[in-house]
Structure 1
Amino acid sequence: MSDSFVVEIKRLPNSEGLPLPQKMSELASGFDLYAAVEEPLTLDPGQRALVPAGLALAMPAELEAQIRPRSGLAFKHGITALNSPGTVDADYRGEVKVLLINHGQEAFVIERGERIAQMVFQLVPQVRLAEVEELGATVRGAGGFGHTGTR
C-alpha cells in the first residue's frame, strides 16, 4: 500500500447516534456522509438546503476533502450536491455541510441518518504561480469551449 494519511474527525453534538463516515465497499473511494438533521427536512423541486453532516475534520496540508453527490440519490430522486465537488480545505475546522438541491419532480424528505453525499480525499499539490510576459505556444492555442469538435 502507498502512503496513508491520518484525518482526525470530531463528532459534533448533532451527530449523536449517527455512524462516522464510512466506505460501503472495500474498494470504494468515497466515505458516505449522513444527514445530522434534528427533524426531517423536505426539499421541494428546485429547492436547495445546507444539510449538516455532524462532524468536523483536521487533515494534513497535502489533502482536501471533496464532497460529491451520491449516484443513487441523483438517479432515483434528482437529489444532488449543488457545488459539486464541494471542497473542504485542510485549514477548515467548522462543521462539514452538504449543499443539496432537488432537481426532481417530487418533494424529497431527508431523514436523520440518511446517506446524503460522499467524501473523497484528494492530494493537493503545492503550486507556485509565476507571472510571465508570454506563454509557450501549443497546437490548440486559445481554442476554448467546443474547440475540438461539433458535438
Structure 2
Amino acid sequence: MSDNASVTITRQSGYQFLVDFGEALPHLLADEPAPLGQGAGPAPDHMLLAAVANCLSASLLFALQKFKQDPGALTATATPEMGRNENKRLRIQRIHVQLELGKTAAELEHLDRVLAQFEEFCTVSMSVRQGIAIDLQVRDGAGAVLKG
C-alpha cells in the first residue's frame, strides 16, 4: 500500500458518490441499494469486503511467490455477518473470508510456512481486525481445508 494513498468522494445525487482514487486510476460510482439509493454501484460495505478479500488474496500470493510458488487461479469470497450494536444500529460484526487456491496442497511447496505467515502481510485485514472479527478459511483446488 502506498504511504500517501488517499481517495476523494463527491456526492453526485441521492446516495451516489463518485470515488476518485487519483489521476492514475478510474473513478468508481458508489451507491446504496434501494430503498435509500438506486444500487448503481457498490455500497460502502461491499467496498470494505472487497478491500479485505483483495488484501488477503494479494498477501497469500506474495507469500507463495516468496517460495517461487504459483497458486494458479485464486478466488476470494468475503461475506459479512450483520447485527445490531447496543444502540440498535446495524453493524458488520464479523467478516467471513474464504480463499481458494487453483492448485492442490500437494502441488505447492512450503505451504505450511506460507499459511503461517501470509495474514501478517495484509495491511487492510490486520487493521480491520482491530474492530471487526475476521474468520478466514483457505482451501486448495480440490476443496480441502488448509486453514481455518
Question: Shorter-chain TM-score: which interval?
Answer: under 0.3
Q: TM-score, normalised by structure 2?
A: 0.27
Where relative contact order (Cα < 8 A, 6+ residues apart) is larger, the structure is: 1
Q: TM-score, normalised by structure 1?
A: 0.27
Larger Rg: 1
